[in-house]
Structure 1
Amino acid sequence: MKKIIIIGFVLLIGLANAQFIKYGVTANFHQSSIVKVHDYSKGAFGGGIGIFADVSLVPNDIYDSAWLYFTPQLEFNTLGENANHPKEEKQKYHNNYIGLPLYIKYFLRNNGYKGDLYFMAGPRLEFLVSEKRSGPPADFEAQEQNISSFGYGVSVGAGIKINDKLDAFIRFDRGFSKIYPDYTRDATYNRMLALGINYYIGETN
């Protein structure tokens, strides 16, 4: 909780000094998996929803013309995977996270003005809020009893502006922290490939 408070304080400082801010809601449909842990594993489909803000980082003399933004995002995502053993019942590992991606968003420019296509990249923090597993025990079940409550990684993506209120994006998240800290065979981590939309609901100067 202290980490969330510190991060929130830093974000508030950045927002207070921003020249132009647009904010809204975001949603995505994704496939996720926990890498290097379960045999016969297949990614699990899930969804996410959250809020975000586009904070301009460059001079913005002309309305909505900034091409570089800091974009913090707070989201809820369902992550995990399914393990389809050919001789056993399906094993399911479904974990729910509060995520905090912190993007730098760069819009390609057209004659000096912000274009419709953008790229984004930045670190992502995640906080486990619940886990659920079902099916027969895994081969290394004892090493999977302890699951990390905090994780970190990176998120990268690209998007396109559809109109003044809506854009669509594709995004890939890759974790760097271990999901199961006691698992000794390999370093386990979350990964996710998502398609999503951002809907802008307001702005401020």
Structure 2
Amino acid sequence: MRKIITISSLLLFGFINAQTVKYGVTGNFHKSSIPGIHDRSKGIFGGGIGVFADISLVRNEIYNSAWLYLTPQLEFNTQGENAQMPGQETQKYHNNYIGIPLYIKYFLKSQGYKGDIYFMAGPRFEFMVSNKVSGPVSLTAHQEENIEKFGYGISAGVGVNIQNRWDVFIRYDRGFSKIYPDYTKYTTYNRMLAIGINLYLGESGF
């Protein structure tokens, strides 16, 4: 509880002292899967799109000099996996999610100046808005009838600013909540490896 209060206080302090808010749109191309379940699972490729804001947590002494940000993001992602049994057609488990990553974004500094390379990490929350299953019945189908729509985990990545308005990044998401709560042999969770771009649309100051 004390850690939660401390972290909340630091974030609130950052909001109060924020000097700039930059906002934009983000998109990614990824491969996702749900480990530990289905017959012979293979990840599938998908895409995502969303919006984000970079809220500076340190003073912006000169234009674009802040090196630490809180970056909330709202995104839509297609996720899931396929499975293939010998001699059978492909089993498909395709899920669509609304995700909310909350990153702390840290830019490397060189001789006191903000650099172009940054690291980001933070919790990620997700809600399944649709799921579609097709193909032969899975060997564990009776344990897959109950599916958890809300999930949580962590997201981390590294990126580089290639122009004032463009970032490119690579990120990895790892869920900690079970997708299929009735399946007990292994922990089933979402995972995703993505490459993407951020386009900054504007900036406001305080």
- Report if TM-score (shorter chain) is over 0.5: yes
Trace 1:19-30 onto structure 2 (pairs within 5 A).
Answer: 19-30=19-30
Quote the residue 1:154 is aligned against: 154
Quote the residue 1:188 is aligned against: 188
Query: TM-score normalised to the size of structure 2?
Result: 0.91
Cα separation, 2, equivalents of 1:15 and 1:196: 27
Query: TM-score normalised to the size of structure 1?
Result: 0.92
Deviations for 1:30-66, whole angstroms, at most 9, x for unmatched residues?
0000010123211010000000000000111111100
Deviations for 1:105-149, whole angstroms, at most 9, x for unmatched residues?
000001111100000000000001000010001001011011111
Does 1:66 find its partner at 2:70? no
Cα separation, 1, equivalents of 2:146 and 2:13: 36
Quote the residue 1:131 is aligned against: 131
Report the residue type matching 1:129 in the other structure. V
Quote the residue 1:201 is aligned against: 201
Report the residue type matching 1:43 in the other structure. G
Quote the residue 2:4 is aligned against: none
CA contact (8 A) 2:17 2:59 kept: no
Report the residue type matching 1:150 in the other structure. F
Deviations for 1:136-180, whole angstroms, at most 9, x for unmatched residues?
010010110111110000000000001001010000000000001
How far the C-alpha of 1:13 sits from its partner, in A, is 10
Cα separation, 2, equivalents of 1:17 and 1:152: 29
- Structure 1: stretches of 5+ with no match in the other structure: 1-10
Report the residue type matching 2:44 in the other structure. A
How far the C-alpha of 1:15 sits from its partner, in A, is 5.5
Cα separation, 2, equivalents of 1:179 and 1:35: 10
Quote the residue 2:86 is aligned against: 86
Trace 1:32-47 onto structure 2 (pairs within 5 A).
Answer: 32-47=32-47
Quote the residue 1:102 is aligned against: 102
The runs of at least 4 consecutive aligned structure 1 residues that moved more than 3 Å come to 11-17
Report the residue type matching 1:113 in the other structure. Y
Query: Measured at CA, do residues 12 and 148 of structure 1 come closer, stay the same or move farther in structure 2, by a change above 3 Å?
Result: farther
Say what the alpha-carbon RMSD is for the aligned residues. 1.6
- Structure 2: stretches of 5+ with no match in the other structure: 1-10
Quote the residue 1:178 is aligned against: 178
Report the residue type matching 1:120 in the other structure. M
Cα separation, 2, equivalents of 1:13 and 1:67: 16
User: The residue matched to 1:185 in structure 2 has which SS?
Assistant: coil
Which segment is superposed worse, 81-90 or 99-108? Answer: 81-90
Cα separation, 2, equivalents of 1:68 and 1:13: 13
How far the C-alpha of 1:18 sits from its partner, in A, is 2.5
